[in-house]
Amino acid sequence: MSRGSILTREGIRDAARVVVKVGSSSISGANAGHIAVLVAALAELHGRGTEVILVSSGAIATGMPYLRLDERPTDLATQQAAAAVGQNVLIYRYQNALTPFSIVAGQVLLTAGDLENPSHRSNAQRAMERLLKLRILPIVNENDTVATHEIRFGDNDRLAALVSVLVKADVLVLLSDVDALYTRPPSEPGAVKIVDVPVGDLLADVTFGDIGAAGVGTGGAATKVSAARLAADAGTAVLVTSATLVTEALAGHPIGTFFTPASV
């Protein structure tokens, strides 16, 4: 199936190249065990010959317990230290879960500057293309150890969208702790699930809240809409749903919020 031809959820299962993004709160702390569920879903895709890239947050959140931190640090140096420890542990957990499926992970750490610099951008693209051809599963994260407040993606939803554009993915699946986007925070009265977002719909009348309930991430519904719009405008179909529904999402089930891609 050629890129740009996936116009419905059902088409996701036939995608040739898929980017999946998972947030910190979905794979750290009490939810660290969900890595196994996520990996099993990705392995099923991989086994069918689909090219899969995982964009995973969670380095800082994973490193926090090792630094004896009860909440996400606010100063840059401690964030960098937590990321240095947590990224190592996070990749180990992913590889440990991937090994029974005979899949090898490849770590790709990027800064915003890498995708703004033409040379660095080309190098990142070439590296990921080669990893995919070698049937390695790239696991992408922001390089928090060297990133600064001034030069950051801000959240990994945007990173995932930029990676999707970079590798010309057929589908981007944004996973969080909410099953779909809603017209207002889902805990509020009157919140209505947004099922489909047509090309050009900016969702201007929608009210979004902030980060997920766990408080360890940096993105919220608004960042997902912005990222989804970026990817969809570049020709990549986007599905926003819960990490607990990843298996159903990748099988094309009628769940989540689907952004129809523009024709490019």
pLDDT class of 214 with cuts at 50, 70, 90? very low
CATH number at residue 153: 3.40.1160.10
Phi, psi of 171 (to 5 degrees): -140, 140
Helix (H) or strand (E) holding 165: helix 156-167
In a domain, 239, yes or no: yes
d(CA 30, CA 46): 27
In a domain, 2, yes or no: no
Which one has a higher pLDDT value, 2 or 243?
Answer: 243
Structure tokens at 98: 């991937």
Q: What is the DSSP letter of 211?
A: B
Task: State yes or no: pLDDT of 218 exceeds 60.
Answer: no
In a domain, 67, yes or no: yes
* Residue 257 near residue 249, CB atoms below 8 Å: no
Determine the residue type at 24: S
Alpha carbon 247 to its chain's center? 15
Domains: count for the chain:
1
Structure tokens at 44: 């099923």
* Residue 46 near residue 137, CB atoms below 8 Å: yes
Per-residue pLDDT reduced to its tens digit, 44-80:
999 999 999 999 999 999 999 999 999 999 898 999 9
Determine the residue type at 146: V
Per-residue pLDDT reduced to its tens digit, 106-128:
999 998 788 889 999 999 999 99
In a domain, 3, yes or no: no
Number of residues in the chain: 264
Boundaries of domain holding 181: 9-259
Tell me the binding residues for ATP. 21, 176-177
Per-residue pLDDT reduced to its tens digit, 163-195:
999 999 999 999 988 999 999 988 889 999 999
Tell me the binding residues for substrate. 57, 144, 156
In a domain, 4, yes or no: no
Task: State yes or no: pLDDT of 203 exceeds 90.
Answer: no
* Residue 165 near residue 158, CB atoms below 8 Å: no
Determine the residue type at 79: Q
For residue 226, give the 3-state DSSP assignment. Answer: helix
For residue 175, give the 3-state DSSP assignment. Answer: strand
In a domain, 112, yes or no: yes
Task: State yes or no: pLDDT of 152 exceeds 50.
Answer: yes
In a domain, 164, yes or no: yes
Taking the whole predicted model, whether its pTM rises above 0.85 is answered as yes
Characterize 209-243 residue by residue with b for buried, 16 or more Cβ atoms within 10 angstroms of its Cβ, and e for exposed. bebbebebbbbbbbbbbbbbbbbbbbbbbbbbbbb
Structure tokens at 99: 């090994």
In a domain, 264, yes or no: no
Tell me the binding residues. 21, 57, 144, 156, 176-177
